[in-house]
Structure 1
Protein backbone atom coordinates (compact mmCIF):
# COMPACT_ATOMS: atom_id res chain seq x y z
CA UNK A 1 0.00 0.00 0.00
CA UNK A 2 1.22 3.48 -0.85
CA UNK A 3 -0.16 6.95 -0.39
CA UNK A 4 0.10 9.89 -2.78
CA UNK A 5 -0.27 13.42 -1.38
CA UNK A 6 -1.31 16.05 -3.90
CA UNK A 7 -1.92 19.48 -2.39
CA UNK A 8 -4.50 18.79 0.34
CA UNK A 9 -5.62 15.36 -0.96
CA UNK A 10 -4.08 12.07 0.15
CA UNK A 11 -4.90 9.07 -2.05
CA UNK A 12 -4.47 5.45 -1.04
CA UNK A 13 -3.15 3.84 -4.23
CA UNK A 14 -5.01 0.62 -3.40
CA UNK A 15 -8.21 2.46 -4.35
CA UNK A 16 -7.02 3.94 -7.66
CA UNK A 17 -9.11 2.23 -10.34
CA UNK A 18 -8.06 4.33 -13.35
CA UNK A 19 -6.14 7.45 -14.31
CA UNK A 20 -6.86 9.69 -17.30
CA UNK A 21 -3.69 11.45 -18.40
CA UNK A 22 -3.57 14.40 -20.80
CA UNK A 23 -7.12 15.60 -20.16
CA UNK A 24 -8.33 19.17 -20.47
CA UNK A 25 -10.89 21.06 -18.45
CA UNK A 26 -13.74 22.92 -20.13
CA UNK A 27 -11.50 26.01 -20.01
CA UNK A 28 -8.71 24.21 -21.89
CA UNK A 29 -6.47 23.79 -18.85
CA UNK A 30 -4.37 20.61 -18.62
CA UNK A 31 -5.79 18.11 -16.13
CA UNK A 32 -5.30 14.58 -14.80
CA UNK A 33 -8.30 12.65 -13.47
CA UNK A 34 -8.08 9.80 -10.97
CA UNK A 35 -10.93 7.32 -10.49
CA UNK A 36 -11.18 6.23 -6.87
CA UNK A 37 -13.05 3.01 -6.07
CA UNK A 38 -13.89 2.64 -2.38
CA UNK A 39 -15.65 -0.46 -1.08
CA UNK A 40 -19.26 -0.16 0.03
CA UNK A 41 -20.13 -2.28 3.00
CA UNK A 42 -23.70 -3.63 3.12
CA UNK A 43 -25.80 -2.20 5.95
CA UNK A 44 -26.79 -5.72 6.91
CA UNK A 45 -26.20 -9.26 5.75
CA UNK A 46 -29.56 -9.08 3.97
CA UNK A 47 -28.33 -6.22 1.78
CA UNK A 48 -26.14 -8.40 -0.43
CA UNK A 49 -28.41 -8.34 -3.49
CA UNK A 50 -26.68 -5.29 -4.91
CA UNK A 51 -23.90 -6.08 -7.37
CA UNK A 52 -22.25 -2.68 -7.05
CA UNK A 53 -19.79 -3.27 -4.22
CA UNK A 54 -17.79 -0.09 -4.87
CA UNK A 55 -18.41 3.64 -4.84
CA UNK A 56 -16.64 5.35 -7.75
CA UNK A 57 -15.59 8.99 -7.81
CA UNK A 58 -13.50 10.91 -10.35
CA UNK A 59 -11.15 13.50 -8.87
CA UNK A 60 -9.71 16.04 -11.31
CA UNK A 61 -6.40 17.81 -10.74
CA UNK A 62 -5.04 20.79 -12.67
CA UNK A 63 -1.87 22.89 -12.70
CA UNK A 64 1.12 21.64 -10.74
CA UNK A 65 -0.93 18.80 -9.25
CA UNK A 66 -1.76 17.50 -12.74
CA UNK A 67 1.88 17.68 -13.76
CA UNK A 68 3.01 15.85 -10.62
CA UNK A 69 0.41 13.11 -11.11
CA UNK A 70 1.28 12.73 -14.76
CA UNK A 71 4.95 12.34 -13.81
CA UNK A 72 4.05 9.77 -11.13
CA UNK A 73 1.78 7.68 -13.36
CA UNK A 74 4.15 7.71 -16.34
CA UNK A 75 7.23 6.77 -14.29
CA UNK A 76 8.63 3.30 -15.01
CA UNK A 77 9.23 3.01 -11.26
CA UNK A 78 5.48 3.21 -10.56
CA UNK A 79 3.65 1.91 -13.65
CA UNK A 80 4.50 -0.63 -16.32
CA UNK A 81 3.81 0.78 -19.79
CA UNK A 82 2.55 -2.07 -21.98
CA UNK A 83 2.56 0.05 -25.15
CA UNK A 84 5.37 2.61 -25.10
CA UNK A 85 4.63 5.92 -26.85
CA UNK A 86 6.81 4.98 -29.80
CA UNK A 87 4.45 2.10 -30.70
CA UNK A 88 1.26 3.97 -29.86
CA UNK A 89 1.13 5.83 -33.19
CA UNK A 90 1.43 2.58 -35.17
CA UNK A 91 -1.45 0.89 -33.31
CA UNK A 92 -4.77 1.85 -34.90
Structure 2
Protein backbone atom coordinates (compact mmCIF):
# COMPACT_ATOMS: atom_id res chain seq x y z
CA UNK A 1 0.00 0.00 0.00
CA UNK A 2 1.44 3.35 -1.00
CA UNK A 3 1.44 6.38 1.22
CA UNK A 4 0.79 9.94 0.17
CA UNK A 5 4.52 10.67 0.50
CA UNK A 6 5.26 8.24 -2.36
CA UNK A 7 2.85 9.92 -4.79
CA UNK A 8 4.19 11.84 -7.75
CA UNK A 9 2.93 15.40 -7.98
CA UNK A 10 0.44 16.16 -10.76
CA UNK A 11 -0.81 19.26 -12.58
CA UNK A 12 -1.88 21.00 -9.38
CA UNK A 13 1.77 21.12 -8.32
CA UNK A 14 3.29 21.95 -11.69
CA UNK A 15 0.80 24.52 -12.96
CA UNK A 16 0.58 24.86 -16.77
CA UNK A 17 0.54 21.67 -18.84
CA UNK A 18 3.98 22.44 -20.29
CA UNK A 19 5.46 22.06 -16.82
CA UNK A 20 3.90 18.65 -16.10
CA UNK A 21 6.78 16.20 -16.59
CA UNK A 22 5.44 12.81 -17.61
CA UNK A 23 2.07 12.23 -16.01
CA UNK A 24 1.20 8.60 -15.43
CA UNK A 25 3.83 7.44 -17.96
CA UNK A 26 7.28 8.16 -16.54
CA UNK A 27 9.94 7.89 -19.18
CA UNK A 28 7.48 7.89 -22.10
CA UNK A 29 9.41 8.55 -25.29
CA UNK A 30 6.99 8.03 -28.17
CA UNK A 31 5.29 11.17 -29.55
CA UNK A 32 1.73 9.86 -29.22
CA UNK A 33 2.14 9.13 -25.52
CA UNK A 34 3.84 12.47 -24.92
CA UNK A 35 0.93 14.25 -26.66
CA UNK A 36 -1.58 12.29 -24.60
CA UNK A 37 0.22 13.26 -21.40
CA UNK A 38 0.33 16.90 -22.45
CA UNK A 39 -3.39 16.86 -23.31
CA UNK A 40 -4.25 15.20 -19.99
CA UNK A 41 -2.22 17.79 -18.09
CA UNK A 42 -3.89 20.64 -19.96
CA UNK A 43 -7.36 19.23 -19.30
CA UNK A 44 -6.59 18.62 -15.63
CA UNK A 45 -5.29 22.15 -15.17
CA UNK A 46 -8.27 23.73 -16.95
CA UNK A 47 -10.84 21.65 -15.05
CA UNK A 48 -9.25 22.59 -11.74
CA UNK A 49 -9.01 26.25 -12.73
CA UNK A 50 -12.67 26.42 -13.78
CA UNK A 51 -13.86 24.50 -10.73
CA UNK A 52 -11.89 26.82 -8.44
CA UNK A 53 -13.18 29.92 -10.24
CA UNK A 54 -16.71 28.79 -9.40
CA UNK A 55 -15.68 28.14 -5.78
CA UNK A 56 -16.87 24.55 -6.18
CA UNK A 57 -15.43 21.71 -4.16
CA UNK A 58 -14.43 18.53 -5.92
CA UNK A 59 -17.51 16.97 -4.32
CA UNK A 60 -19.77 19.63 -5.87
CA UNK A 61 -18.26 19.11 -9.33
CA UNK A 62 -18.65 15.35 -8.95
CA UNK A 63 -22.32 15.78 -8.02
CA UNK A 64 -22.98 18.18 -10.91
CA UNK A 65 -21.27 15.82 -13.39
CA UNK A 66 -22.73 12.60 -11.98
CA UNK A 67 -19.34 11.05 -11.26
CA UNK A 68 -17.49 10.14 -8.08
CA UNK A 69 -15.34 12.61 -6.17
CA UNK A 70 -12.47 10.19 -6.57
CA UNK A 71 -12.78 10.51 -10.35
CA UNK A 72 -12.52 14.30 -10.13
CA UNK A 73 -9.58 14.06 -7.73
CA UNK A 74 -7.70 11.63 -10.00
CA UNK A 75 -8.36 13.76 -13.08
CA UNK A 76 -7.12 16.95 -11.43
CA UNK A 77 -4.12 15.29 -9.78
CA UNK A 78 -3.06 13.46 -12.92
CA UNK A 79 -2.99 10.12 -11.13
CA UNK A 80 -5.40 8.41 -13.50
CA UNK A 81 -7.08 8.62 -16.88
CA UNK A 82 -10.80 9.14 -17.42
CA UNK A 83 -12.71 7.88 -20.41
CA UNK A 84 -14.25 10.22 -22.96
CA UNK A 85 -17.78 9.87 -21.60
CA UNK A 86 -16.66 10.90 -18.10
CA UNK A 87 -14.56 13.74 -19.48
CA UNK A 88 -17.54 15.13 -21.39
CA UNK A 89 -19.76 14.89 -18.28
CA UNK A 90 -17.21 16.82 -16.22
CA UNK A 91 -16.57 19.49 -18.84
CA UNK A 92 -20.31 19.89 -19.51
CA UNK A 93 -20.90 20.51 -15.81
CA UNK A 94 -18.35 23.35 -16.06
CA UNK A 95 -19.70 24.68 -19.39
CA UNK A 96 -16.43 23.79 -21.12
CA UNK A 97 -16.04 22.30 -24.60
CA UNK A 98 -13.83 19.40 -25.61
CA UNK A 99 -12.34 19.79 -29.08
CA UNK A 100 -9.67 18.27 -31.27
CA UNK A 101 -7.16 20.46 -33.09
CA UNK A 102 -4.23 19.72 -35.31
CA UNK A 103 -0.93 19.85 -33.41
| TM bucket, shorter chain | under 0.3
Relative contact order, CA 8 A, sep 6+: which one is greater? 2
Structure showing the higher strand proportion among its residues: 1
Of the two, which has the highest radius of gyration?
A: 1
Query: Structure 1-normalised TM-score?
Result: 0.25
TM-score between both structures, scaled by the size of structure 2: 0.24
